[in-house]
Structure 1
């Protein structure tokens, strides 16, 4: 690629190599979809639909697969997911913080910081850094859905949309 990164792809067709890879992957307890969870969910829906349309399927049809790539966690850097908000939707700083406090525990920070764990968001408002910690009842309500329980979804669903009126964060 333009930034000097090179990728190599190999076709693995030797049965012994395939068995070794299968054994190695059976040792991986779980995988995490860092990006593309919507595409993965869509691929599953398409596969299920095609299986209904073709009840005699064997499992090796193209609709049963989708392209993915896996990276070890020690070779992966998850970058910040930042949002810049231009105004507080006609709220004063105090009124905004009060509304945010309904869904998040708010703590002012002495200096700039980054979230350390799930359920934490940092915010900069009027020259003050804050740590927002999602309240337990909000986390509990979101827990059933892997997508809705993501911090980015909670930020959108509990702060950006209802308090700031930002329905589409891309605009």
Structure 2
């Protein structure tokens, strides 16, 4: 069973929500964050990207960055920019992109569920990023941003979500990227909690490092609390939990900065290539490559008797192209490869090759939510950058403090 917990969220006054809500910390660079938040002291980027309030060139892991984040959050809480609910609440959160709605439950989930594999992962985490997020959590005494989880569709929760969204939302606004955001308080709090008791697993979609960091922070708090009971707020962290049918995954494309001489001929010799291809693959098992100003379609080989990971296009690309032909054995750390979210389109891939930033671009077919769940259920791990979820959650809508 999955634990769902109401919480006394801090949220903006509805009339200020558009000024406060921001993109997640990890989808913008420091330079982009500075530009977005310029002239807007209410932007939540001052909390999740506090280095924007320090001199350019400040090390993002410097003590003053973490202190600035805590100071900014305390200002938001103390100056009325954010207001706290009087009672623990659950919420329903809907994002609408290009007319397509995606609706989930905004609540706290349990660190214990993460530690005991009720909440399942599909990617490795990096210790340096864990350290960074854990320190932000402990310094701020808060989880400033939610993670994105998914679950197998369930009629009981669907009925509760539908009933909740028939009322007036607490928030409704359109962000700068055209995505519409709506948030409702849920009246049937206990019903939601009980419905999740029949859901066996939750799956991490976006936020592996925040999940792991919540676990590490809770462990540290337990260690320092001689009267720990397990009910303290640090044992829970905020998440937006969507049914699988609502999830939208875009491709996570790749560019290679330097390739060997005559690499196109090498590919033609080893694989089936078709020139003048559409930049976007039309089916699983195929990729598109952009090289020397032209697009080619290429079929990916498949291992004999493949497991759930070996069936993934991102793994097949790694196994048969990146590793043996380009010596990119560890794409997490190899500086010869970069990743481009599908939201940027194939035009971005062409631009990176045409301007000399890269010599090869690879357009992928999107990993499906069913593939993600299958890999997670089997306890396996996907290659890095296998999924790009869109639309992104906004930060600053609901903040969980402890």
Task: Give the TM-score band, short-chain normalised.
Answer: 0.5 to 0.7
Q: Please, which moves more after superposition, 84-93 or 43-52?
A: 84-93
Does structure 1 residue 46 correspond to structure 2 residue 217? yes
Match of 2:289 in 1: 124
- Specify whether residues 97 and 49 from structure 1 end up closer, same or farther in structure 2 by C-alpha distance, changes over 3 A only: farther
Does structure 1 residue 68 correspond to structure 2 residue 68? no
Q: Partners in 2 of 1:48 and 1:90 — Cα distance?
A: 51
Number of residue-to-residue matches in the alignment: 152
Deviations 1:137-162 (A, max 9, x none): 9969x79xxxxxx8658867986578
What is the alpha-carbon root mean square deviation over aligned residues?
4.0
- Specify whether residues 23 and 124 from structure 1 end up closer, same or farther in structure 2 by C-alpha distance, changes over 3 A only: same
Match of 2:182 in 1: 7
Unaligned segments of structure 2, at least 5 residues: 1-173, 340-356, 358-402
Unaligned segments of structure 1, at least 5 residues: 144-149
- Superposition TM-score, scaled by structure 1 size: 0.60
More strand by share: 2
Q: Partners in 2 of 1:52 and 1:97 — Cα distance?
A: 58
- Which structure exhibits the higher relative contact order, with contacts defined as CA atoms closer than 8 Å and separated by 6 or more residues? 2
Match of 1:18 in 2: 189
- Superposition TM-score, scaled by structure 2 size: 0.30
- Specify whether residues 83 and 131 from structure 1 end up closer, same or farther in structure 2 by C-alpha distance, changes over 3 A only: same
Deviations 1:64-89 (A, max 9, x none): 11111012222221111112334424
Match of 1:146 in 2: none
- Displacement after TM superposition at 1:5 (Å): 0.9
Q: Partners in 1 of 2:221 and 2:268 — Cα distance?
A: 49
Matches within 5 A, 1:16-165: 17-90=188-261, 92-95=263-266, 108=273, 112=278, 113-114=281-282, 116=284, 120=285, 122-124=287-289, 126=291, 127-133=295-301, 135=303, 160=322, 163=326
Q: Please, which moves more after superposition, 1-10 or 71-80?
A: 1-10
- Specify whether residues 76 and 45 from structure 1 end up closer, same or farther in structure 2 by C-alpha distance, changes over 3 A only: same
- Specify whether residues 57 and 157 from structure 1 end up closer, same or farther in structure 2 by C-alpha distance, changes over 3 A only: farther
